[in-house]
Chain A
């Protein structure tokens, strides 16, 4: 029993750290442009396919990962430059101005899904992790915790630390926070707000790319728009970000870990078919009990 408990915990923490990355990507975009990017999972999907192409040609995960990150960052930057700016210009007034960005990012998600399915669908898209996914042994028992899962955890911890330092301690971070907080004043103090926004999207794009790559190798090594892995990324990033309060990177990381644990325990101890509805229920509970999130200033959620 004890053994199963430890296993469930370790699975949950690993999955949760991937959700944490997704949540941080969503928080980065939210903090730099006040848009919830529902296409984030789509971008992660596309970046993962970039990584897969690199994997096919170079045959090394350690080349594929940076390629995916770079591709993800570039793609996100282009989307912000071309698409989001046009959107802000076109539909900043009118009856549905407040919901237009939401609808637009959803449309983007649909387009990315369809395009990736047209290009890569039906193939056996497989990415092999850099280290083995066979569990460590503890006495006579085999843990589910493997070198790969350890690697994922460590990478995510390092990324969370790097992003937090970037956000809180550097000038770039200050510019990011200032442009989100008050674009007008930031512009007055010489911050290139448009550039900073693009940067926020690019950072989010590459964080999402890492999440996509790890989600793939942590699962059965395959990834497609119709896979369970992809649907999980789609909802869990948003839910983890909301649990964390949507404003804080650390909150997003904690939210992701919590969500991973909850899903893992529900899967093991309650029922495997509640797998998908569990995140929704977690979200509802959080919204009712602590709508400002775990780490979040007390303000209402009518953004």
Chain B
């Protein structure tokens, strides 16, 4: 890692962690499980925000990269019997390597070409599980992180353990990301996004910078994939459908692709959607078609609405609005006395 500036917000993240710890002791099992899912989505959406919002590349292949992470972690755990932390680390590494390869192709492409290429990957990669018997085919493999340590007490449940692991992972990766984005690399990405030629003129190797963005983003996505398979206990091709990549993109757009700080909005929405869909289908009397497809419908509709009406995300929209208000106030304050002076 190069120089990480402004790392003084570490205290803030530790504070967040403490709050999360307090919450996890108060709420029931289902909420704790949803908390774990939110943490997983926070990590995955952050990886998209880094890639799309900061380096200007669209990826629909992050579902596939998550699958790489999930399978590597599972294999490391089942075949090599590595400790959990190490198998998560391997997930990050494997997905990052995959991302670097994809990024090398991606650096030569942009916009629709990249989107299409990653789309083809997302459709194609999960079916590889049927090609190699070690990956367990359609059934997949079980991924077991083990029971929570005894030292945490008798009443400490499995779901709470998942929540702690994924919450901690989310905090660490958000802290790392927010620092990377403020470093030289983050500035290089933003420069390349807003004007590639100008960035090259000022000495930034935009191709290399894009590959780096893709690699880091993929590594984080791999971590999210490993955590996802931890919370569901298995890893299989059906856990990483094209719809997952779509959901992540929706989450990122809802959060505002250019601001990391909105990431919770997207993550909470994605976890809330199935529950809202449940409520709706209970009200209008459900057929099976509606029950299975309503969440997908809501995700896609939200994506369209967000792109049309808050293309830069609610956080950015709010910031712009309050800046305008502030500017107006200042102008008013400046012009009033002078007008009185004139009369």
- Interface residues, chain A, with chain B CB atoms under 8 Å away: 35-36, 38, 83, 86-87, 90-91, 94-100, 102-104, 106-111, 113-115, 117-119, 121-122, 231, 234-235, 238-239, 242, 271, 273-280, 283-284, 287-288, 291, 301-303
Contacts and interface: CB of A to CB of B under 8 A. Distances in A.
Nearest to A225: B293
Nearest to B60: A106
Interface of B: 52-53, 56, 58, 60, 105, 108-113, 115-117, 119-121, 123-125, 127-128, 130-131, 193-194, 196, 242-243, 246, 249-250, 253, 257-258, 288-290, 292-294, 296-297, 299-301, 303-304, 307-309, 311-312
Contacts of A238: 116, 119-120
A99 B127 contact: no
Contacts of B111: 36, 98-99, 102, 302-303
A122 B304 contact: no
B128 A102 contact: no
B296 A113 contact: yes
Given A36-B111, A96-B52, A108-B304, 9 more contacts: A38-B116, A107-B300, A107-B303, A114-B296, A273-B130, A273-B131, A279-B124, A302-B110, A302-B111
Contacts of A288: 105, 108
24 contacts: A94-B312, A95-B53, A95-B194, A96-B258, A99-B56, A102-B115, A103-B253, A106-B249, A107-B304, A110-B296, A111-B297, A113-B300, A114-B293, A117-B296, A231-B242, A235-B119, A239-B120, A276-B123, A277-B128, A278-B124, A280-B124, A291-B108, A302-B109, A303-B113
A284 to B, nearest CB: 6
Given A95-B258, A231-B123, A117 B292 contact: yes
A275 B130 CA distance: 11
A100 B120 contact: no
Contacts of A100: 307, 311
B299 A110 contact: yes
Nearest to A90: B308
Contacts of A117: 289, 292-293, 296
Nearest to B246: A110
A98 B110 CA distance: 10
B286 to A, nearest CB: 11
B307 A107 contact: yes
A107 B246 CA distance: 8
A110 B193 CA distance: 27
A57 to B, nearest CB: 21
Nearest to B252: A103
Closest 9 CB pairs of A and B: A110-B300, A114-B297, A36-B112, A107-B303, A277-B124, A107-B304, A280-B120, A273-B130, A276-B124
Nearest to A112: B300
Secondary structure class of chain B's binding surface, majority of residues: helix
A99 B117 contact: no
Contacts of A119: 289
Contacts of A239: 116, 120
Contacts of A274: 128, 131
A118 to B, nearest CB: 5
A121 B287 CA distance: 11
A230 to B, nearest CB: 10
B110 A301 contact: yes
Interface centre among B125, B288, B289, B292 (most CB of A within 10 A): B289
B305 to A, nearest CB: 9
Contacts of B307: 87, 91, 100, 103-104, 107
A104 to B, nearest CB: 5
Contacts of B253: 103
Contacts of B58: 99, 102-103
A15 to B, nearest CB: 16
A86 B121 contact: no
Contacts of B293: 114, 117-118, 121
Nearest to B104: A288
A217 B235 CA distance: 35
A96 B312 CA distance: 7
Contacts of A94: 311-312
Contacts of B301: 107, 111
Contacts of A108: 300, 304
Contacts of B309: 90
A303 B123 CA distance: 24
A22 to B, nearest CB: 12
Contact of A122 (B52, B60, B124, B288): B288
B304 A104 contact: yes
A114 B258 contact: no
Given A110-B296, A115-B297, A287 B105 contact: yes
Nearest to B243: A110
A19 to B, nearest CB: 13
